[in-house]
Chain A
Amino acid sequence: MAGESNGAGVFGSSIRRREDPELITGQAKYTDDLQLSGMVYCTILRSDYAHAKINGVDASEAEALDGVIAVYTAKDIEASGVPGGIPVGWLLPDMKIPEHYMLAKDTTRYVGDGVAIVVAEDQYTAHDALDLIYVDYDPRDGVADPKKATEDGAPLVHDEAPNNIAFDWEIGDKEQTDAAFANAAHVASLDIVNNRLIPNAMEPRAALADYNSITGELTLYMTTQNPHIHRLLMSLASLGLPEHKIRVIAPEVGGGFGSKIHHYADEAIAAWASMQVGRPVKWTATRTETYLTDAHGRDHVTHGELAMDADGRFIGLRVDTYAAMGAYLSTFAPAVPTYLYGTLMSGEYDLPAIHCHVYGVFTHTVPVDAYRGAGRPEATFIVERLVDEAARVSGIDPAEIRRRNFVSPDAFPYQTQVALEYDSGNYEGALDKALEAIGYDDFRKEQAAAREEGKFLGIGLSTYIEACGLAPSAVVGSLGAQAGQWESAVVRVHATGKVTVYSGCSGHGQGHETTFAQIVASALGVPYEDIDVIEGDSGVMPHGWGTYGSRSAATGGSAIASAAEKVVDKARTIAAHLLEAAEEDLAFEDGNFFVKGSPDQAQSLPDVALQAYLAHNLPKGIEPALEATSFYDPANFVFPFGTHVAVVEICASTGQVDLKRYLAVDDVGNVINPMIVDGQVHGGIAQGVGQSLYETAVYDDGANLLSGTMLDYAVPKAHFLPSFETDRTVTPCPHNPLGVKGVGEAGTIASPAAVVNAVVDALSPFGVNHIDMPVTSEKVWNAMN
């Protein structure tokens, strides 16, 4: 493959991933693949009731089963003296924070809430024993719908949260926005349910805990996107062990999509159990358990309105949302429907007045937290659906009304009415490219002709913006984050010129080992093969905040670039000394330092590294060795954007939606590896299309999860999806050293609106102006008939 060994030219080339040989041969080790000597297995008994008082637990039969080592309940955890808390890491003003303990003490609050722990010699016995634990439940009424949960008389999830309201949050200027609506020529108005989703990383969550009672050290292998966050929270809230005595290791991790960010009870339970039995303890979720415990996503009930003047210019947007939190506040849950949602309401548009009000609501359901996109898909769906509805009520073409309202390319940085300052963009550029590629004008003719024949074609646009790489830390702290959002990197040049890079990010499918090496190869001019990248071990690298929110390239990559720059600076000083020249007279090209104009007398980076390690002849004041650490705190979020287009055909007799084409023009700034970026876009689109056409977590009125297995929840299969058409524009980020934005979530953020806009467009002859997701045949058929 081209470009696999060059230094400087390697940034921007589609190198095959170095991660893959281990993965395609089955050699890579995920958490559940690991075995430790003396290892035992842990299972967790989960509540069958959405809401119940626990009168008592009888574990005597389970304890008597051959092979069972112990059965524990919340009382045992309390007696052990550990704090036992499952924390929330984002605090909003006046937010209700009910106690969340590692196991339910006297009340279960969702189907799946942990009640008891079994530790046994083998996993079959550990599962058998669950059936021998008898819990005396006193069932109570539950509530699953976030809007109904706020009504008077609804069952309370927590007594201290009246009407189940966890927080009442708003952003923007209500008065100014209401005034805009009072002067509107047209108003688009929609009631929208954003369907609850189950993440479905293919690898179920797992933990293998090894507590050494002699040293007091806990080694915890686990399915994590952020080992240091887990270490920090386990030290502070659940286990109470000193932070430096906890080592969290992410082995190979099989996808996350947000679901492996959070501090759940289960991994802490495995660790606590290892502390009790003095042996390594493994816990691995069954798929059903992941459905009952992995934080779900979305679950909003919203009313949104967009006001226009007579020319179709947007003058105001107002949004009211009931956002489910589930039974407890998960790690970053409060941020998702607030600062990752309300702040996106300006979309790509120059909107002079915005107001967004959100109730965060407790329901008797699995906690809701960040799932790929986290707040931004919900916001984009509202804005882009309202824009299409605005086009409909004003009679302006959907592409034209967007063009008329875009923030113009010369308006950056652009300050929105909802806190964010967009860094750079060219929204019309992406739209034009997409419209041309899809053949927009021709499509309208084809659509009209098809309707004559009783065929219903539709086209949907989603001109999206996303805000990712949350930053800077001081700002996110002021908004309630109990975490920093900088990132760390160490670039270590060894004496022979080989390089090891340590990143505080923690990839789980994104290909960091490849792309981060590409960054360093370009920065240092050393061969790509001479660079290794290591992530995912709190015992090895400096504190980092992990991989989520499309932050790894923008923050982690920038940290690496910054550390590499420090290495070059130091190497230049040493090279100047060796060449007996002034530093400012040196050039650095392809890994060689030389006096400008004299490239034949060069000191290569490996030459300099050797001298740095020997330290026989270093300039005065320069320390030996050649490495640098960077803790990079970005100046701002990054703002990828683009235009996605869906084309659908609806079967007139069944209502089935056939997604015929899906085209994405994304602008993610500079691109490190186009192949990997395209892959991220593909996967993101698939999840967004999944939400729009297939996936939904269904609770009944009693808050029982009906879609509790992969049989009942429609993770898209290969034949549910078309091949995707992808293209790009490139508008570099102006405030980070690589000019990169982020790509992990773009597809998931953009695609639901594109698909539903296409469906509604197809159904326009039927007077349909909205259909909630997932757009099933049944809903479409009913809308047509």
Chain B
Amino acid sequence: MGISIELEVNGAGVSKEVEPRLLLAHLLREELGLTGTKIGCDTSQCGSCTILLDGQAVKSCTVLAVQADGSEVTTIEGLANGEYHPMQQAFWDNHGLQCGFCTPGMIISCVDLLNSNPQPSEDEIRHGLEGNLCRCTGYHNIVRAVQAAAETMNG
């Protein structure tokens, strides 16, 4: 019993017939092959599945695919535009990742954070990332990465 949806994912049009209960995270991963978006929990705590939905960071495990009908989605695969997004570059330069599993969602959240607050303090960065868990870095270098990206993007 599918429902037809149309959306734009990373700049390309997508038309799909989906189960009403299909999560956006599963649409991206299982049906569109965009496995950069990760699923790390089942209670919307970890933030590994964070994507941009019409420019806003959302947890795609908490959005039904049908709710994204008519929307624009940007995943980690769509963030680079010929060259790395400054946030991706900053994560690389500052060792802001280790195992990399939280990284796609973390980078998307950090992009969203700077979109709403281009020059955050360390405290604002840390609170701004409360929806994303990382178990490897202790967040130390993630904070450095966001600070570096802010400098690049404001410079």
Interface centre among A200, A509, A716, by most chain B C-beta atoms within 10 angstroms, is A509
Q: Is the CB of A19 within 8 A of B100?
A: yes
* A509 close to B130 (CB less than 8 A): no
Smallest CB separation, A198 vs chain B (Å): 11
Q: Does B141 contact A (CB under 8 A)?
A: yes
Residues of B near A26 (CB, < 8 A) are: 34-37, 75-77, 104
How far is A654 from B54 in the complex, measured between Cα atoms in Å?
A: 41
Q: Would you call A23 and B97 a contact (CB within 8 A)? A: yes
Assembly CA distance A675 to B137 (angstroms): 12
A685–B30 Cα gap in the complex (Å)? 36
Asked if A215 is at the interface of the complex by the 8 Å CB criterion, the answer is: no
Q: Which residues of B contact A715 (CB under 8 A)?
A: 45, 133, 135
The residues in B between 54 and 82 inclusive whose CB is less than 8 angstroms from any CB of A are 75-77, 79-80
Q: Are A255 and B136 in contact (CB under 8 A)?
A: yes
User: Contact: B130 with A201, CB < 8 Å?
Assistant: no
- Report A725 CB to chain B, min CB distance, Å: 10
Interface of B is mostly: loop
Q: Are B140 and A724 in contact (CB under 8 A)?
A: yes
**Is A246 engaged at the interface, CB distance under 8 Å to the other chain?**
no
B52 interfacial contact with A, CB 8 Å: no
- Asked if A202 and B46 make an inter-chain contact with CB atoms under 8 angstroms apart, the answer reads yes
Q: Are B101 and A718 in contact (CB under 8 A)?
A: no
Q: Are B100 and A288 in contact, with the CB atoms below 8 A?
A: no
Contact of A23 with B100 in the complex, beta carbons under 8 Å:
yes
Q: Which one of B80, B103, B104, B139 contacts A686 once the chains associate, using CB atoms below 8 Å?
A: B139
A684 to B140 alpha-carbon distance, docked (Å): 11
**Are B35 and A711 closer than 8 Å at their CB atoms?**
no
CB-nearest residue of chain A to B98:
A509
Most chain-A Cβ atoms within 10 A of its Cβ — which of B77, B88, B122, B138?
B138
Asked if A60 CB lies within 8 Å of chain B CBs, one says no
User: Does A723 reach chain B (CB closer than 8 Å)?
Assistant: yes
B92 touches A254 (CB 8 A): no
Does the CB pair B126–A719 fall under 8 Å? yes
Determine whether the beta carbon of B133 is less than 8 Å from that of A717: yes
**Is A376 interfacial (CB 8 A cutoff)?**
no
Partner of A30, one of B19, B38, B126: B38
Contact string, A745-785, partner B, CB cutoff 8 A, digits 1/0? 00100000000000000000000000000000000000000
B150 CB within 8 Å of chain A: no
A454 interface hit (Cβ, 8 Å): no
Which residues of the other chain, A, contact B26 by a CB distance below 8 angstroms?
Answer: 123
Smallest CB separation, B25 vs chain A (Å) = 11
A residues 491-543 in Cβ contact with B at 8 Å? 508-511
Kindly state the separation between the CA atoms of A203 and B134 in the bound complex, as whole angstroms: 10
Q: How far is the CB of B10 from chain A (nearest CB, A)?
A: 10
Q: Does A721 contact B (CB under 8 A)?
A: yes
Q: Which residue of A123, A254, A683 is within 8 Å of B101 (Cβ)?
A: A254
Interface: A17 (CB within 8 A): yes
> Is A24 an interface residue when CB atoms closer than 8 A count as contact?
yes
Q: Does B154 contact A (CB under 8 A)?
A: no
A124 CB within 8 Å of chain B: yes
Name the CB-closest residue of A to B133: A715
A-B contact count (CB 8 A): 183
B43 neighbours in A (Cβ, 8 Å): 287-288, 709-711
From A25, A508, A511, A718, give the contact of B88 (CB < 8 A).
A25
Contact of A682 among B35, B100, B138 (CB under 8 A): B138
Chain B's closest residue to A289 (CB) is B42
Question: A254 to B103, alpha carbons, bound, how many Å?
Answer: 10
B126 touches A718 (CB 8 A): yes
A202, B102: Cβ atoms under 8 Å? yes
B133 with A710: CB separation less than 8 A? yes
In the bound complex, how far is the Cα of B34 from the Cα of A372, in angstroms?
A: 32
Q: What is the bound-complex CA distance between A687 and B98, given in angstroms?
A: 14
Contact (Cβ within 8 A) B143 A24: no
Interface: B41 (CB within 8 A): yes
Chain A nearest CB, measured from B144 CB (Å): 8
State whether the Cβ of A257 lies closer than 8 Å to any Cβ in chain B: yes
Tell which of B30, B48, B103, B138 touches A721, judged by Cβ atoms closer than 8 Å: B138
In chain B, positions 4-56 with a C-beta closer than 8 Å to chain A are 19, 21-22, 26, 29-30, 33-43, 45-46, 48
B98 touches A679 (CB 8 A): yes
Tell whether, in the assembled complex, residue A717 and residue B46 are in contact, meaning their CB atoms are under 8 Å apart.
no
Given contacts A203-B38, A286-B42, contact A254 B99 (CB under 8 A): yes
A50 on the B face (CB < 8 A): no
B114 at the interface (CB under 8 A from A): no
What count of chain B residues pass the 8 Å CB interface test? 59
Which B-chain residue is minimally distant from A257 (CB atoms)?
A: B135
B129 near A: Cβ within 8 Å?
yes
Give Cα A255–Cα B134 distance, bound, in whole angstroms: 10
Shortest Cβ distance from A345 into chain B, in angstroms? Answer: 28
Q: In the complex, which residues of chain B have a beta carbon less than 8 angstroms from the beta carbon of A687?
A: 135, 138
Whether A685 and B46, one on each chain, are in contact in the complex, defined by CB atoms closer than 8 angstroms, is: no
A709–B99 CB distance below 8 A: no
Smallest CB gap from B37: residue in A: A26
Given A16-B95, A718-B129, answer yes or no on A24-B103 (Cβ-Cβ < 8 Å). Answer: yes
- Answer yes or no: A28 CB below 8 A from chain B CBs: yes
Contacts of B138 in A (CB 8 A): 682-687, 716, 721, 724, 747
B84-109: which residues lie under 8 A (CB-CB) from chain A?
A: 84, 88, 91-93, 95, 97-104, 107
Which residues on A sit within 8 Å (CB–CB) of B107? 24
A685 to B99, CA, bound (A): 17
Q: Which A residues are CB-close (under 8 A) to B80? A: 25
Say yes or no: A511 contacts B98, CB within 8 Å. Answer: yes
Residues of A within 8 A of B93 (CB): 1, 16
| CB-contact partner of B137 in A21, A252, A682, under 8 A | A682
Contact B99 A29 (CB under 8 A): no
Q: Which of B114-136 contact A (CB under 8 A)?
A: 122-123, 125-127, 129-130, 132-136
- Of B21, B35, B46, B122, which contacts A710 at CB under 8 A? B46
Asked if A27 CB lies within 8 Å of chain B CBs, one says: yes
Interface-central residue, B40, B45, B80, B135, by most chain A CB under 10 Å? B135
Q: How far is it, in angstroms, between the C-alpha of A692 and the C-alpha of B22 when the chains are bound?
A: 39
Q: Is the CB of A287 within 8 A of B122?
A: no
Known: A24-B88, A710-B45. A255 touches B99 (CB 8 A): yes
For A655, the chain B residues whose CB sits under 8 A away are: none
Instruction: Give Cα distance in the complex from A660 to B76, angstroms.
Output: 34
Task: Tell me the complex Cα distance, A678–B141, Å.
Answer: 10
A717 touches B95 (CB 8 A): no
Contact of A287 among B41, B84, B136 (CB under 8 A): B41
Nearest chain-B residue to A16 (Cβ)? Answer: B92
A25 — which chain B residues lie within 8 A by C-beta? 36, 76-77, 79-80, 84, 88
A33 is contacted by which of B35, B40, B132 (Cβ under 8 Å)? B35
Across the interface, do B143 and A30 meet the contact criterion of CB distance under 8 Å? no
A723 touches B140 (CB 8 A): yes
Name the distance in Å between A273's Cβ and chain B's nearest Cβ. Answer: 19
Residue of A nearest to B128 (CB): A718
Contact, CB under 8 Å: B141 / A682: yes
Closest to A676 in B: B95
Question: Does A389 sit within 8 A of B, measured CB to CB?
Answer: no
Is the CB–CB distance between B40 and A723 below 8 Å?
A: no
A682 & B140 in contact (Cβ 8 Å cutoff): yes
Does any Cβ of B come within 8 Å of A204's Cβ? yes
Which residues between 247 and 283 of chain A lie within 8 Å of chain B, taking CB atoms? 252-255, 257
Among B37, B40, B137, B140, the most chain A Cβ lie within 10 Å of the Cβ of B140
Instruction: Output the residue of B93, B98, B134 with the most chain A CB within 10 A.
Output: B98
Chain A residues in 8 Å Cβ range of B19: 124
Pairs A–B under 8 Å by Cβ, sample size 28: A17-B95, A20-B91, A20-B100, A25-B80, A26-B36, A27-B36, A29-B35, A33-B35, A201-B99, A202-B99, A202-B101, A202-B136, A203-B38, A255-B136, A287-B46, A510-B98, A682-B138, A683-B136, A686-B140, A709-B41, A710-B133, A716-B138, A717-B130, A717-B133, A718-B142, A719-B126, A719-B127, A719-B130
4 extra interface residue pairs, beta carbon distance < 8 Å, beyond A24-B84, A509-B98, A679-B95: A202-B48, A287-B40, A686-B139, A721-B140
- What are the 8 closest A-B residue pairs judged by CB atoms, nearest first? A26-B36, A254-B101, A686-B138, A509-B99, A23-B100, A26-B76, A33-B35, A710-B45
